[in-house]
Chain A
Amino acid sequence: MQIPIDTFSLENGLVVTLSQDNTAPIVAVNLWYHVGSANERAGRTGFAHLFEHMLFQGSEHVGANEHFELVQRAGGTLNGSTWLERTNYFETVPSNQLALALWLEADRMGALLPAMTQKKLDTQRDVVKNERRWSVDNQPYGTWWEKLPELAFPEWHPFHHSLIGSMEDLSEASLEDVEQFFRTYYTPDNAVLSIAGDFDPAEARKLVEKFFGSIPRGKGKPPLERIEVPSKFDTTLRSVVEDDVSLPRLYLAFRTPVFGSDGYYAASVTAAVLGMRRGSRLYRALVRERQIAADATAFTFDLAKGSDLLIVDVTARPETSAEQLENEVERQIDKLVKDGVTAEEVGRAVALIQTDLISALQSASERADRISMFATLLGDPALVNKQAEKYEAVTADRVNSFAREYLGTDNRAKLLYVPRKEEDASNAAELAVVAAS
């Protein structure tokens, strides 16, 4: 299956991709800015995400919250999200509302600052602090999002710190930070705009030129100081977190080749062999046969720079101790490294991935988002059409040599959640990092 993709750039550096599909009268607009929590300066953890909230607070010709209202009134859906390496903004609207969606995105890319006020920043800071309480602090295992990268990347590394940010750093964020971040990163030459669905290509191009064409190019963003890390941990890292949970849970991470590389596809298929659905190794062995786990999955983090992570996530059954969980999971990994996988296992994993791929591409917003992703992270939007063949090319041999290289005890980081002991119930969870070998 091939998606049509037409790519061009404006003079100001904005990369634009068009992917036409007229089956339904809807169109998705998707904008990736190549900036994420990795670009935050020291003392400003959480700022990239707080900034994402500010992009819904109006711009020169759009009132506060009007962005949401105008898109919903047009019959559209919308949102934004922040990740380590990027921030994206997207809306899907009836196709006769394409101009509105583009105009809204252009207005905040070109003229955000006139609408920024201290009061808006203060309110969104409170909203984000509540988002942190809701998704991290008041959620069992919710801190894993920050504790795992903290364990897996050294302190100086851009992926080490929390994406949602600390309460202290969120309190420090100022309007000057907003201005500086905007001028540095929210520029057309640091963005990819994708349009997918029902539109006339000539007209869409005209609209893009009209709304985005006069936005000036940026002055260039500072490079990430250091991003490269050794391809493996060279040890087993281990950290134990006491949390308000009843069941132990293990997150076992391995450093793996970055998103988009050949090694990435081997890692991704290995993750599926290990933990995708009920026929996977970990599910069969730990949930069904040994019955020591309530659930078992594995996936990649999809980081395109430095190092990616393959993560195994297993929750214990009530009668299983944390220690037993840890031992049994590692035994399964050791077994895979030692004995390898079969062609059938790889076939199963690749078949599931292929169905998910086609299933996802039914939606205009998914098509636009994936095209933006490949254009932003790997500089080639057409890679969206090469995924099926890249996965099909992964053989049992490739999985086995990947496993021997990356899944050994010299490349493991274990984040183990254990039920808080009663007498410690009033103490905050402490993170203890211990190198076990």
Chain B
Amino acid sequence: MTVATRPEPGPAREYHFPQFVRDRLENGLNVIVATVSKLPIISVVAVIDATALADEKGKEGTAELTAKALREGTASRNGTELALDLEKLGTSIEAGADWDSTAVSMTVLKNHLSEAFQILAEVITAPAFGEEDVERLKAERLAERMQILDEPRGLADESFSRFVYADRARFAEPMSGSTKSVSAIRRDDVEAFYRKNFLPQTMTLIMAGDITAEEGIELATKAFGEWRGERTISPINADTPARAARAVEIVAKPDAAQSEIRIGHVGVPRSHPDYFRIVVMNAVLGGLFSSRINLNLREAHGYTYGANSYFDWRRQSGPFVISTAVQSEVTAEAISETLKEIERMREEEISEDELTLATSYLEGVFPIRYETTAAIASALANLATFGLPEDYYDTYRENIAAVTTRHVLNAARKYVKPEELQIVVVGNPELIEEPLKALAFGPTSMREAEEA
């Protein structure tokens, strides 16, 4: 009663990433406008080269705290007025800092754009950084720290970074700071961070949606044209590995209902010439639902609800991570199966079928990723943050399609390194310590699940 023959696709309709116009104001501020006029809505993102790598040693978390403090008041409005003035226009400003940028963003209906945009400019160019507000944000961050440490997933991610990167490397510390480092930040540190890093030359302003290039550039010039500042910072080295040999760490959580497992090592920077080959290789290994690791751990063994792998792309080398959560009793088995999949990936070429699954998926979902103005603006923000070529999105699908099974094998051999793998497990030591030691994967240490 159902139709037995699987239908074949018709000819594909062409798709192009939205066109965009770039301009540079006299003060050095970059502007990008992408006109997408389907609905009366615009997304605005300001990306600023004010990163967690610019945090002073011992005061990690300053970049994030500064981003959050932008929304707490300006020369002419206090924090509550600021929130209310934006929200009655149906919008609000999100602000946050990561390893490679600070992003300040909002999505707003066209009829409210000019008024909301004025407030966004005020937030970026004239923040007040009130002492009380900074102290409250610190207290909120400290409360968040307690919640992260309660939460096995967050704890595993954080423990893994600490274990993989050298103590002195910035990537070892939480991006938004630890309890100790956040406690050490003072209001003046926030202001100093802002003065040093928030400058027209370090910012790209992106607008995507129902707006023309002329309108966008005019708005930017009016609101940011008079803004001035001088750049004076030097980048630091953030990605030194902790060690060159395998090692295992157990983070003891006696009442854990599951083991949170992270396996990996220091990866490669975003600008790497083999980027597309690594992306396709990772899709086959652990990036897709139908990836080798997920099909093995979830669908063949039922060990887990899901397992995946990723390269965390940053300007410096972020980690390569395989991440899963399994029933405590099968922790060692799940790790063994994962290691087998890594070996298999490096031993022989994947089949043509596996290759095309990954490449046709990545090519096909490309237009699905850019349905909203916020997604388009965020893609353009990546161009600015990572210094990608102007035609990056126009050539993305060709670059994916050009990857071969031989490229994938070489990428697995070069960038997945079994001898350097680090394993972190957050779980019940009574159930996992012996089996993990019996694996004899590498020197195994154990620590309590509290802040290092």
For the complex, give the distance between the alpha carbons of A246 and B1 in Å: 57
Interface footprint category on B: 35 or more
A106 at the interface (CB under 8 A from B): yes
For the complex, give the distance between the alpha carbons of A277 and B79 in Å: 13
A138 touches B147 (CB 8 A): no
What are the nearest 5 A-B pairs in CB distance? A75-B364, A126-B302, A351-B90, A25-B13, A99-B7
Residues of A within 8 A of B (CB): 1, 21, 23-26, 59-61, 64-65, 68-70, 72-77, 92-97, 99-100, 103, 106-107, 110-111, 122-131, 133-135, 137-140, 198, 210-211, 214-216, 244-247, 277-279, 284, 287-288, 291, 294, 315, 317-318, 344, 347-348, 351-352, 354-355, 358-359, 361-364, 425-426
Contact among B71, B257, B299 with A138 in the assembled complex (CB-CB below 8 Å): B257
Contact among B41, B87, B327 with A352 in the assembled complex (CB-CB below 8 Å): B87
> From A294, which residue of chain B is reached at the shortest CB distance?
B143
A362 touches B290 (CB 8 A): no
Report chain A residues within 8 Å CB of B79: 278, 288
> From B12, which residue of chain A is reached at the shortest CB distance?
A96
For the complex, give the distance between the alpha carbons of A216 and B1 in Å: 8
0/1 string, B333-359, CB within 8 A of A gives 1: 000000000000000000000001100
B326 touches A351 (CB 8 A): no
Whole-angstrom distance from the CB of B44 to the nearest CB of chain A? Answer: 13
Whole-angstrom distance from the CB of B261 to the nearest CB of chain A? Answer: 12
B150 touches A140 (CB 8 A): yes
Contact among B107, B144, B152, B298 with A294 in the assembled complex (CB-CB below 8 Å): B144
B368 touches A77 (CB 8 A): yes
B143 touches A247 (CB 8 A): yes
A133 touches B368 (CB 8 A): no
Report chain B residues within 8 Å CB of A363: 371-372
B87 touches A348 (CB 8 A): yes
Most A CB contacts (10 A, CB to CB) among B9, B140, B149, B373 go to: B9
- A-B CB contact pairs (8 Å), 15 listed: A25-B367, A73-B356, A127-B302, A127-B304, A130-B258, A134-B258, A134-B305, A244-B150, A245-B150, A246-B146, A278-B79, A294-B143, A315-B147, A318-B142, A362-B38
Whole-angstrom distance from the CB of A351 to the nearest CB of chain B? Answer: 4
B2 touches A69 (CB 8 A): no
B226-245 CB contacts (< 8 Å) to partner A = none
B365 at the interface (CB under 8 A from A): yes
* Known interface pairs A21-B38, A25-B15, A279-B92; 14 further A-B residue pairs with C-beta atoms within 8 A, sorted by A's residue number: A24-B15, A74-B9, A100-B7, A122-B302, A126-B327, A127-B305, A134-B258, A288-B79, A294-B140, A315-B143, A352-B91, A355-B90, A358-B39, A363-B372
> From B3, which residue of chain A is reached at the shortest CB distance?
A211
B434 at the interface (CB under 8 A from A): no
With A65-B290, A138-B152, A291-B139 as known contacts, state yes or no: A130 contacts B39, CB within 8 Å.
no
For the complex, give the distance between the alpha carbons of A83 and B302 in Å: 23
For the complex, give the distance between the alpha carbons of A362 and B107 in Å: 12
A69 touches B357 (CB 8 A): yes
B150 touches A362 (CB 8 A): no
> From A278, which residue of chain B is reached at the shortest CB distance?
B83
Contact among A74, A103, A278, A344 with B88 in the assembled complex (CB-CB below 8 Å): A344
B150 touches A279 (CB 8 A): no
Whole-angstrom distance from the CB of B187 to the nearest CB of chain A? Answer: 16
A359 touches B365 (CB 8 A): no
> From B38, which residue of chain A is reached at the shortest CB distance?
A23
Report chain A residues within 8 Å CB of B40: 1, 358
B13 touches A198 (CB 8 A): yes
For the complex, give the distance between the alpha carbons of A425 and B254 in Å: 10
A61 touches B6 (CB 8 A): yes
For the complex, give the distance between the alpha carbons of A291 and B282 in Å: 45
A68 touches B258 (CB 8 A): no
Whole-angstrom distance from the CB of A345 to the nearest CB of chain B? Answer: 9
For the complex, give the distance between the alpha carbons of A93 and B368 in Å: 8
For the complex, give the distance between the alpha carbons of A32 and B94 in Å: 33
Contact among B2, B90, B357 with A354 in the assembled complex (CB-CB below 8 Å): B90
For the complex, give the distance between the alpha carbons of A213 and B143 in Å: 56
Report chain A residues within 8 Å CB of B38: 21, 23, 362
With A247-B147, A288-B79 as known contacts, state yes or no: A348 contacts B88, CB within 8 Å.
yes
For the complex, give the distance between the alpha carbons of A289 and B79 in Å: 11
B312 at the interface (CB under 8 A from A): no
B146 touches A361 (CB 8 A): no
B91 touches A355 (CB 8 A): yes
> From B150, which residue of chain A is reached at the shortest CB distance?
A140
B295 at the interface (CB under 8 A from A): yes
For the complex, give the distance between the alpha carbons of A153 and B91 in Å: 36
Q: How many A-B residue pairs have CB under 8 A?
A: 237
0/1 string, B289-303, CB within 8 A of A gives 1: 110000100111111
Most A CB contacts (10 A, CB to CB) among B7, B12, B256, B363 go to: B7
> From B362, which residue of chain A is reached at the shortest CB distance?
A75
Whole-angstrom distance from the CB of B104 to the nearest CB of chain A? Answer: 15
A24 touches B371 (CB 8 A): yes
> From B86, which residue of chain A is reached at the shortest CB distance?
A279
0/1 string, B25-64, CB within 8 A of A gives 1: 0000000000000111100000000000000000000000
B438 at the interface (CB under 8 A from A): no
With A126-B303, A351-B88 as known contacts, state yes or no: A425 contacts B255, CB within 8 Å.
yes
Contact among B139, B146, B371 with A362 in the assembled complex (CB-CB below 8 Å): B371
For the complex, give the distance between the alpha carbons of A124 and B257 in Å: 19
Whole-angstrom distance from the CB of A142 to the nearest CB of chain B? Answer: 9
For the complex, give the distance between the alpha carbons of A111 and B4 in Å: 10
> From B132, which residue of chain A is reached at the shortest CB distance?
A291
B80 at the interface (CB under 8 A from A): yes
Report chain B residues within 8 Å CB of A358: 39-41, 109
Contact among A68, A94, A344 with B289 in the assembled complex (CB-CB below 8 Å): A68
For the complex, give the distance between the alpha carbons of A355 and B116 in Å: 13
For the complex, give the distance between the alpha carbons of A334 and B184 in Å: 39
Report chain A residues within 8 Å CB of B10: 96, 99
Most B CB contacts (10 A, CB to CB) among A73, A124, A215 go to: A73
0/1 string, B139-171, CB within 8 A of A gives 1: 110111011011111000000000000000000
Contact among B2, B15, B108 with A60 in the assembled complex (CB-CB below 8 Å): B2
B374 at the interface (CB under 8 A from A): yes
With A25-B14, A75-B364 as known contacts, state yes or no: A61 contacts B305, CB within 8 Å.
no
Report chain A residues within 8 Å CB of B446: none
With A72-B288, A77-B368, A318-B142 as known contacts, state yes or no: A110 contacts B1, CB within 8 Å.
yes
Report chain B residues within 8 Å CB of A135: 305
B87 touches A279 (CB 8 A): yes
For the complex, give the distance between the alpha carbons of A364 and B356 in Å: 26
B392 at the interface (CB under 8 A from A): no
For the complex, give the distance between the alpha carbons of A99 and B7 in Å: 6
A76 touches B368 (CB 8 A): yes
Report chain B residues within 8 Å CB of A138: 152, 256-258, 260, 325
Whole-angstrom distance from the CB of B7 to the nearest CB of chain A? Answer: 4
A133 touches B327 (CB 8 A): yes
Most A CB contacts (10 A, CB to CB) among B1, B79, B303 go to: B1
> From A101, which residue of chain B is reached at the shortest CB distance?
B7
Contact among B41, B90, B153, B365 with A76 in the assembled complex (CB-CB below 8 Å): B365
Report chain A residues within 8 Å CB of B447: none
Contact among B151, B295, B368 with A26 in the assembled complex (CB-CB below 8 Å): B368
A278 touches B13 (CB 8 A): no
B395 at the interface (CB under 8 A from A): no
Report chain B residues within 8 Å CB of A107: 2-3
Contact among B3, B84, B152, B299 with A210 in the assembled complex (CB-CB below 8 Å): B3
Report chain B residues within 8 Å CB of A97: 9, 364
B396 at the interface (CB under 8 A from A): no
Contact among B86, B109, B153, B290 with A72 in the assembled complex (CB-CB below 8 Å): B290
Report chain B residues within 8 Å CB of A24: 15, 367, 370-371
For the complex, give the distance between the alpha carbons of A132 and B41 in Å: 39
For the complex, give the distance between the alpha carbons of A435 and B400 in Å: 61
A130 touches B302 (CB 8 A): yes
Report chain A residues within 8 Å CB of B366: 75
Contact among A21, A111, A133 with B1 in the assembled complex (CB-CB below 8 Å): A111
